[in-house]
Amino acid sequence: MLKSIYFYEIKHWLKQPSTYLFVSIMFLFGLGAMALTADITGDYSNIEKGSRRFANAPFSIASLLFDFNLFIQFIVPIFIAGSLYRDYSSKMFMILYSYPIKKRDYLFGKFLSSVSICFIIVLFLFLGMFLGSVLPWVNQAMITSNSIAAYIRPLFLIAVPNIAITAMLVYAAVIASRSIYAGFITALLVLLLRRILVFMLSGPDNQTLVALFDLFAQAPVFMAARYWTPEQMNMLNIPISNMIIYNRLIWLGFSSLIFTRAYQKFAFTQSILSGNIFRKTLRRKNYQSAIPKSKTQDVTDISFSFSFITQVRAAWRMSVFEFRNILLSRTFLALLVGSLIFMYLLLAQANPQYTTRIYPLTQVMLMVPSLFFSFIIGLITFLYAGILIHKDRTTDIHQLVDVTPISNPVLLGSKFLALIKIQAVLLSVIMVVGVLVQSIRGYYHFEIDLYLFDLYAVSLIGLVIWAMLGFFVQTLLPNQYVGFFLLILFSIGIGGLESIGIKPDIFKFNAAPILEYSDLNGYGNQLRSYFAHKLYWLLLGGILLILTFLFWVRGFAQNFPERVVTALKRSSKPVMAGSSALLLAFLSMGFMLYHSAYPGTEDISEKELRAHTSGVIKKFGNLRNIIQPRLSGVNINMNIFPEERNYTSNGTLVFVNKSEQAIDTLIIAYPANTNSEYLLGVNFEVLVSDSLLNLDILKLQDPLLPKDSLFLEFSTNDIPGTFFLSNSKVIENGTFMLAELFTVGMPDNENTHTLPSNPKASENSYVGKNVDPFDFEAVVSTSKDQIALAPGELAAQWQENGRNYFRYKSSRKIRNGIVFNSGVFEVKREHVNGVDLEIYHHPTHTFNLERMMEAMKATLAFSEKTYTPYQFKQMRIIEFPKTYGNFAQSFANTIPYSEFAGFISKEDTFSKNRFDQVFRLVAHEMAHQWWGHQVVPSNALGSRIITEGLAEYTSIEILGEKYGEEAKQLYLELISDRLQRSIARTPNKSTPLVFARPDQDILNYQKAALTYYAFQKIIGKDNFHHGLQNFIEKYRLRSSPYPTSLDLVNELRNVTPDSFQHIISDFFESDTTSVNKILVKQKKF
């Protein structure tokens, strides 16, 4: 019997067009993904051989499979739930259940057959991948020979168990509820569950747990391959590791349990399993009068109205009715409860960063869930768009509804409103849980207005636009499950447009600039552009809704040509006029948005620019290394206008001829992206004025003699933005911008970092050509409510024309890099050892001020003791909004510091897996005042192991002094893990530290710090610090020649006992990877 049910079902599915649709989609997915992966890597000649990962390598195949998990997840309920639900919806079950079929045969027959179909569909995904790898025109360099195991293992280790797990859970849900939607909601809840588990367990120490509980088995696979080299990734099969086996067993066991429970409860009855307790049982009367109450006349006086206003009110009432029905359905309740739990766990944890917790500010509550949850609400929108549109048909009430005199737009509108109400309810989950979490964590500064605006003004619009698309697609397609799937496909496909070269938002449905909220400057400059884009999409959505109206099914289903005829009939003049107006508005809005985002038709392509540049270089090649005067003084007036988002500046640059010869040719480069002019105090003749490269080549009438100075007066103003787009660095509150200065000499346009052994290397520092540390003075003005900052001591402060003015003057020369900040700040100050320590912060961001202050004091104490005295009289940390990013950076006596890099993080002094990250980061940045500002290294390779490496090392030592060995150890483990992962990814022969390129962050930070640390352990802390002290004293606060990594190693060599001399080259100069040695050492720490 099981067999015949099984084959009957298989035959049924094979008769469905949708089966073939999914088979072909999956096949094309596989084919396309494989071909694209091989080709997208494109210019493969650039990829070093060692790091090339073949598109059809076992690990690549597994990765592709993980990418398609989401689709598989929603194909499963279509078949699994569909197989059972078919019998309920066709009422066939009334007949079927009376047949002498065994429950086992019935349930397993259906289950196994639909799982088989899912299996076949996934099989075609793999077939597609295989075929994609053997297509003749696919980039053969990215393809290796196919091995069976590379396909079989992911299929049977990952895909098939995943299908089985979801299938069992979905099946159980459908058995229990007899609703196909319960199947989809279950699939969705499984997604949420996985996300919760992975999220809650994530953390450096929980990798094993995540690997066990990731029910898609992605984590255990990635864990096994964590330290694989690209070569291993190309060669090794997905291991059948214990972790993967246990993972599969756990989840298969869990879902079997649920499945068994539902199986046991299943009975061939005519009513639903459970939940009947709430239902009122019908009172059966023994006798009902056969004669109705007589109706001689119409008792009630009623009136009918079809006016516009009553129709609108009717639409609202009907939407209330629809909404109420959905709200009270068990599937939706399950969804709501699931979302609440998910959101609670997500927000209660709220640690987007690795080891950091964040205070439950409202902006954090809104930021954390935004991406994933709005994706989930999007899925729900697609699902309920189908449910609402097909509901009258699935419940078979449509004949009653369709003969009523309600107009189609009202019917459509009421359902659309109901869908938006569903979205609003789901969005409110974020607010409810957010406020709950805030209260639980004792944070009572609820910004309800921010919640409301972010959820119902910002987020809801996007969802409404998705709803419009959902309605259109679900109306057009007769099969709502196919519609649901295609909508998911479409929404995800949009994300992939960028990878095939489509960048502008106006070509990506429902795309808009990403909004970043900050407590300092709110949504900032993006809000206007965001709403403009959303309006643009709403216009398209309006057109889609009109199309939905035209194709709305009233009465009995028609075939497509008939529907087109109906649609044409419905295209009355007002409808045509309305849609033409919408279309016109949509197109002109798109045109406008495109031009505000990509202004200037005179923009030349990158290729042309490159050709031009090389032409100029060829022509003036001899000018590249021409001797130029060097910048040695800056005096600047900077006027910041936060409201206008604009600045103006002017001032004087002093250039000194520090060479032995007279200079008669001057190359002056304009600051990029500004409106700038200059005046020279001498007579000159313009040889070349190149507007593309933004530089002038001048011939001085009287050559600049050695030691003579040249004064350049400049004015540099911001380029005004367009209505929708402003590229100004100035923002409403919390501006953080670097001064754009004129420079002299031919700009280096590629990375021309020389070896440190090259004597030329020491001519220029790593922060600019022909620039030496300079005298600095500035007057900064800003609006009257803000404080403006620049490096140096505050010499004067006054008000003028309703604006605040500040004069800063540095007592010492400063290294290049002039930073300006402006904002409404509160200041925390301390005075320690003659140094003013100040923190400029947003008034409510007071959580970590104490830690920051402690870190500054500790760094000051440690570095003055270990290295040299601090060179300035003040040290400032200045908060900036996350609009600029999530980092901190060190300038002369100034550390601009992102609100998200520590101002609102919740730090534990030291507990399991957590340490004071803010303390460490401040220490690192402040250590740069020594490593980077006292010692300014050369522009050669390896220089950043001096700045970043030693700053990192210093911060580790200070962390240890403050919080003890354990905290230090934890941080060391963290960075060595990062180092190991990175080495595994790029094992191509390791660069010696002394030659590390500036962009090799892992070498400059993690590897350098670990190496110093290991080296220090070997030669002794005192020796090591003594060497550093010698180094810094030798090169402190000087101009060219600038020190290189080799100079540092020399100083270290001098303090290394003879017995350890050999390890110096091992650690710093060897190109064999010394990581293992370092790591071995580290284990012994």
Partner 1 sequence: MSNLIVKELSKTYQNGVKALNNLSLEIGTGMFGLLGPNGAGKSTLMRTIATLQQPDSGCISFQEIDVLTHPMELRKILGYLPQEFGVYPKVSAEKLLDYFATLKGIASAKQRAAISQEVLELTNLYDDRRKSVSDYSGGMKQRFGIAQLLLNRPKLIIVDEPTAGLDPAERKRFLNVLREVGTQNTVLFSTHIVDDVHELCNDMAIVNHGQVLKKSTPEQAINELEGKIWATKTSPDELGSYKNKTLVLSSNFSSDNSLIIRVYSNTKPDRHFSAESPTLEDVYFCVLQSKEHTGQSYA
**Residue 295 C-beta: closest distance to partner 1, Å:** 5
The residue written with tokens 């246990």 in the block is: 246
Return the biggest CA–CA distance within the chain: 122
Tell me whether residue 52 or residue 554 sits nearer to partner 1 (CB atom).
554
**Residue 37 C-beta: closest distance to partner 1, Å:** 45
The residue written with tokens 């397609």 in the block is: 477
Tokens of 297: 């006349």
CA separation, residue 572 to residues 131, 558, 581 (Å): 50, 20, 14
**Residue 406 C-beta: closest distance to partner 1, Å:** 4
Strand order in the sheet with 735-738: 735-738, 819-823, 787-789
**Residue 19 C-beta: closest distance to partner 1, Å:** 23
Tell me whether residue 324 or residue 1062 sits nearer to partner 1 (CB atom).
324
- Answer yes or no: are the C-beta atoms of 125 and 25 closer than 8 Å: no
* Phi and psi, residue 608, nearest 5°: -60, -40
Give the strand pairing for 914-915 and 910-911.
Answer: antiparallel
Q: Is the peptide bond before 405 cis (omega within 30 degrees of 0)?
A: no
Residue 1026 Ramachandran class (φ > 0 left, ψ -120 to 50 alpha, else beta): alpha
**Residue 404 C-beta: closest distance to partner 1, Å:** 4
Tokens of 897: 């510091």
Tell me whether residue 389 or residue 710 sits nearer to partner 1 (CB atom).
389
**Residue 531 C-beta: closest distance to partner 1, Å:** 35
What's at 33, amino acid-wise? Answer: A
Tell me whether residue 99 or residue 556 sits nearer to partner 1 (CB atom).
556
Tell me whether residue 321 or residue 507 sits nearer to partner 1 (CB atom).
321
Tell me whether residue 402 or residue 713 sits nearer to partner 1 (CB atom).
402
Question: How far apart, in whole angstroms, are the C-alpha atoms of residue 197 and residue 1050?
Answer: 51
Other CB atoms within a 10 A radius of the CB of residue 158 amount to 25
**Residue 403 C-beta: closest distance to partner 1, Å:** 4
**Residue 483 C-beta: closest distance to partner 1, Å:** 21
**Residue 545 C-beta: closest distance to partner 1, Å:** 20
Instruction: Tell which residue, 75, 223, 79, has the closest CA to residue 159.
Output: 75
**Residue 467 C-beta: closest distance to partner 1, Å:** 21
Tell me whether residue 319 or residue 339 sits nearer to partner 1 (CB atom).
319
**Residue 277 C-beta: closest distance to partner 1, Å:** 14
Question: How far apart, in whole angstroms, are the C-alpha atoms of residue 1068 and residue 1078?
Answer: 11
Question: How far apart, in whole angstroms, are the C-alpha atoms of residue 947 and residue 931?
Answer: 5
Question: How far apart, in whole angstroms, are the C-alpha atoms of residue 657 and residue 663?
Answer: 8
Tell me whether residue 395 or residue 580 sits nearer to partner 1 (CB atom).
395
**Residue 564 C-beta: closest distance to partner 1, Å:** 13
Other CB atoms within a 10 A radius of the CB of residue 568 amount to 9
Question: How far apart, in whole angstroms, are the C-alpha atoms of residue 514 and residue 532?
Answer: 13
Other CB atoms within a 10 A radius of the CB of residue 705 amount to 10
Angle (CA) 274 275 279, round 5°: 125
| Dihedral sign from CA coordinates of 913, 919, 924, 925 | positive
Q: Which residues bind partner 1 (CB under 8 A)?
A: 279-280, 282-283, 285, 288-295, 298-306, 310, 313-314, 317-318, 321, 325, 328-329, 391, 395-397, 399-407, 554-556, 559, 562
Tell me whether residue 397 or residue 604 sits nearer to partner 1 (CB atom).
397
Question: How far apart, in whole angstroms, are the C-alpha atoms of residue 891 and residue 709?
Answer: 26
Any residues with CB less than 8 A from the CB of 1020 and at least 6 apart, and which?
none
Cβ-count burial of 407 within 10 angstroms (0-12 exposed, 13-18 middle, 19+ buried)? Answer: middle
Question: How far apart, in whole angstroms, are the C-alpha atoms of residue 891 and residue 671?
Answer: 20
Tell me whether residue 308 or residue 444 sits nearer to partner 1 (CB atom).
308
**Residue 156 C-beta: closest distance to partner 1, Å:** 41
Question: How far apart, in whole angstroms, are the C-alpha atoms of residue 666 and residue 226?
Answer: 54
**Residue 85 C-beta: closest distance to partner 1, Å:** 14
Tell me whether residue 305 or residue 614 sits nearer to partner 1 (CB atom).
305
Please, what is the end-to-end C-alpha distance for the chain in angstroms?
68
Tell me whether residue 24 or residue 305 sits nearer to partner 1 (CB atom).
305
CA separation, residue 797 to residues 156, 380, 730, 793, 815 (Å): 72, 57, 21, 11, 24
Element (H, E) at 633: strand 630-641
Question: How far apart, in whole angstroms, are the C-alpha atoms of residue 850 and residue 667?
Answer: 49
Q: How many residues does the chain have?
A: 1085
**Residue 280 C-beta: closest distance to partner 1, Å:** 6
- Answer yes or no: are the C-beta atoms of 411 and 391 closer than 8 Å: no
Tell me whether residue 410 or residue 853 sits nearer to partner 1 (CB atom).
410
**Residue 903 C-beta: closest distance to partner 1, Å:** 51
- Answer yes or no: are the C-beta atoms of 860 and 872 closer than 8 Å: no
Question: How far apart, in whole angstroms, are the C-alpha atoms of residue 241 and residue 253?
Answer: 18
Tell me whether residue 301 or residue 800 sits nearer to partner 1 (CB atom).
301
Question: How far apart, in whole angstroms, are the C-alpha atoms of residue 837 and residue 987?
Answer: 44
Tell me whether residue 99 or residue 287 sits nearer to partner 1 (CB atom).
287
Other CB atoms within a 10 A radius of the CB of residue 609 amount to 14
Question: How far apart, in whole angstroms, are the C-alpha atoms of residue 1056 and residue 1061?
Answer: 6
Using only C-alpha atoms, the chain has a radius of gyration, in whole angstroms, of 34
Tell me whether residue 397 or residue 576 sits nearer to partner 1 (CB atom).
397
**Residue 270 C-beta: closest distance to partner 1, Å:** 12
Tell me whether residue 407 or residue 652 sits nearer to partner 1 (CB atom).
407
**Residue 8 C-beta: closest distance to partner 1, Å:** 24
- Answer yes or no: are the C-beta atoms of 883 and 731 closer than 8 Å: yes
Tell me whether residue 311 or residue 1065 sits nearer to partner 1 (CB atom).
311
